[in-house]
Amino acid sequence: METLDTIAAVAPHIPGYVIARPLGQGSSSTVWLATREKDGARFAVKCAKAGAAGGLATSRAEVLADANREMRLLSQLKHKHLIRVHEILHMGGAAEGTLGIVMDYAAGGSLANLMSARGKLTVGEAVTILTPIAQALDYLHANGTEHGDVSPGNVLFTAVGMPLLADFGVAAKVGDKPHDLGVGTPGFMEPGSESPVNGDISRDTIQPQRDVYALGAVGWYCLTGTTPEQEQDRPPLSLLVPEVPKALAAALEAALSADPRKRPSAKELGTAIFRSAAPEALDLSGAVHSSVIPELLTRREILGRSPRRATRSLSRTTRWLKIWWRLLPFTRGRALPTAEPGHRRSRRPGGGLGRRLVLLAVTGVLIGAASWILWQQNSTTTAMVKQAAMESGVADPGEAAEAPHGLDQTDAQDLPAALATGLQSEDPLVAVSALSAVRDIALGERRLDLLDLVNAPGSQAEATDKQVSDYLRDAGTAFVGLHTALTALTVEGPAQSDHVLVEVTAATSGYEERLVSGAVVRTGAAGTPQQLRLDLVRSDGRWRISGILDAGPAG
């Protein structure tokens, strides 16, 4: 697999999108990070390479046919752990005549990148990755589809570390033409893929057992750092990695059976893996592009391993983050929610910003883990958590939740009249109180689009609140009851200016972090009053917050 450093492809012209950087390259395509011009949303665009060496398609017509086929296949499938495809585009510039598949951007990179950075993963991390991918495979198989290339390059992660299965370039549906032999990634294909296996499993039907083998091989690779040998040459997994629980070793070894009939189904494999050990938050730090680090929430490194380095790498934005987030006090020392009794709880993080980031990060991952792996559990508690997760959209962090009760409505018209008027006030002191109240509503009711009314476009304040709102979207929660009281307001700067500093003392109330179902996942204590200087700018006749400067503790 090529790394980003070795990608020499010329950026294509994609109508309606601005290309940011290459994300990766496979045998048949290059994948680019692209921003949609109309709304700034980010996507990954997979651009086929005509005549790609090693790919299945060797002519332009074949490339087009393959892209169309992959798009068609993916558009019929919908699962929280399958990458979603949005549209297929005709490319311009150097790529004229080819197609681009626009899909969800997986900011956490691929398992291949993670393994290059880490070498091996922990048992808990492997469980976190393998269980949801087994779920996705179970879904595919139940829908008559074989993925055909389950491998580290095709397991991607969202910014909160949720695994997604990608690349349906060689996937097959029931009734499709038989696979070309030898497709897939070496090391992760069942032995004998280059020749028919066990006569009774014919090549003119899909073979889910091949995906099960591949997932077993991915699991082996995660734990040992190497791909599995053939059955007769393979040492027991527990010899290579003594800390692997017996049940996990047995599940992976069964998946790697040479005889496909001895392999478990994807569902059985997922169940066995899930029951073998507690899932653990992924440490993706060190495996992603530097520009992704600020949005990466699964950063245990901040927590304990190398706090200084991690905090430094968050760079300047953290100063703004630190100040604004001080308005969201997270409870000290309270246990974070976990879905399963006995599953690992978060460790107590260190202090300051790292603590807040990590609390968010670990909460996100554990809540996420709860939904990814709540699959075969049958206890009432689990069912309730699962229900809550589904209702809240936590079950699908990559997708905006269909929030009931009018949450997420973007229309400012249903704001209380006094607030709507306050937002339009020429007086920055009136406006700033309204801005703060609207921000409380945005975070308290998860009406996150209201933040557009609060923060100046392109400002540090906007960037900071985006981190908070991304967290709430991903977690499917709101900070219910949050109220920010602003007192001792004074304006610095000329009265008529379009840019003023407002000095305030800000104090936040206690609040509950709740799922849309109403379930409380965490409580936050009231914050110590902070003296802040809010940087306000006025445009289109309205004041918005552009930045927040720390003026120290109040009093």
Ligand X SMILES: Nc1ncnc2c1ncn2[C@@H]1O[C@H](COP(=O)(O)OP(=O)(O)OP(=O)(O)O)[C@@H](O)[C@H]1O
Toward ligand X, which CB reaches closer, 29 or 469? 29
Phi, psi of 546 (to 5 degrees): -110, -25
**Site for ligand X contains 171 (CB under 6 A):** no
Q: How far apart are CA 466 and CA 460, in angstroms?
A: 10
Q: How far apart are CA 468 and CA 28, in angstroms?
A: 37
* Residue that the structure tokens 């967290």 belong to: 471
Q: How far apart are CA 181 and CA 194, in angstroms?
A: 5
Whole-number minimum distance, CB 12 to ligand X, in Å? 14
Collapsing DSSP states into helix, strand and coil, what is residue 14?
coil
Whole-number minimum distance, CB 175 to ligand X, in Å? 22
Toward ligand X, which CB reaches closer, 116 or 311? 116
Residue range at the interface with ligand X (CB under 6 A); choices 149-157, 194-202, 229-237, 413-421: 149-157
One of 12, 132, 148, 153 touching ligand X (CB under 6 A) = 153
Residue range at the interface with ligand X (CB under 6 A); choices 9-17, 24-32, 87-95, 297-305: 24-32
Toward ligand X, which CB reaches closer, 26 or 524? 26
- Give the bridge partners for 507, in sequence order: 485
Whole-number minimum distance, CB 473 to ligand X, in Å? 18
Written as six digits, the tokens of 525 are: 């204590």
**Site for ligand X contains 158 (CB under 6 A):** no
Whole-number minimum distance, CB 122 to ligand X, in Å? 22
One of 11, 20, 27, 116 touching ligand X (CB under 6 A) = 27
Residue range at the interface with ligand X (CB under 6 A); choices 106-114, 284-292, 295-303, 431-439: 106-114
Is 508 in contact with 484 (CB distance < 8 Å)? Answer: yes
Toward ligand X, which CB reaches closer, 138 or 167? 167
Query: Which residues in the 67-96 window bind ligand X by CB under 6 A?
Result: 83
Nearest to 314 by CA among 187, 161, 467, 183: 467
Residue range at the interface with ligand X (CB under 6 A); choices 99-107, 188-196, 499-507, 526-534: 99-107
Whole-number minimum distance, CB 285 to ligand X, in Å? 17
**Site for ligand X contains 391 (CB under 6 A):** no
Q: Classify burial at 50, counting beta carbons within 10 Å of its beta carbon; exposed 0-12, middle 13-18, buried 19 or more.
A: middle
Helices (H), 374-524: 380-392, 417-423, 428-444, 451-454, 460-475
Is 363 in contact with 299 (CB distance < 8 Å)? Answer: no
Residue range at the interface with ligand X (CB under 6 A); choices 12-20, 85-93, 165-173, 322-330: 165-173
* Residue 476 DSSP label: T
Toward ligand X, which CB reaches closer, 136 or 303? 136
Q: Checking DSSP bridges between strand 172-173 and strand 477-480, what pairing results, if any?
A: unpaired
Query: x/- binding map, residues 192-231, to ligand X, per CB under 6 A?
Result: ----------------------------------------
- Between vectors from CA 435 to CA 431 and to CA 441, what angle results, nearest 5°? 145
Toward ligand X, which CB reaches closer, 167 or 391? 167
**Site for ligand X contains 103 (CB under 6 A):** yes
DSSP string, 67-119: HHHHHHHHHT---TTBPPEEEEEE-BGGGTT-EEEEEE--TT-BHHHHHHHHS
Toward ligand X, which CB reaches closer, 167 or 465? 167
Written as six digits, the tokens of 347 are: 């460790």
Nearest to 243 by CA among 294, 280, 296, 268: 280
One of 12, 24, 163, 354 touching ligand X (CB under 6 A) = 24
| Distances in whole angstroms, Cα of residue 523 to Cα of each of 165, 437, 480, 526 | 34, 20, 9, 10
**Site for ligand X contains 154 (CB under 6 A):** yes
**Site for ligand X contains 306 (CB under 6 A):** no
**One-letter amino acid identity for 174?**
V
**Site for ligand X contains 26 (CB under 6 A):** yes
Query: x/- binding map, residues 29-68, to ligand X, per CB under 6 A?
Result: x-x------------x-x----------------------
For ligand X, the binding residues (CB under 6 A) are 23-29, 31, 44, 46, 83, 103-106, 110, 112, 149, 153-154, 156, 166-167, 169
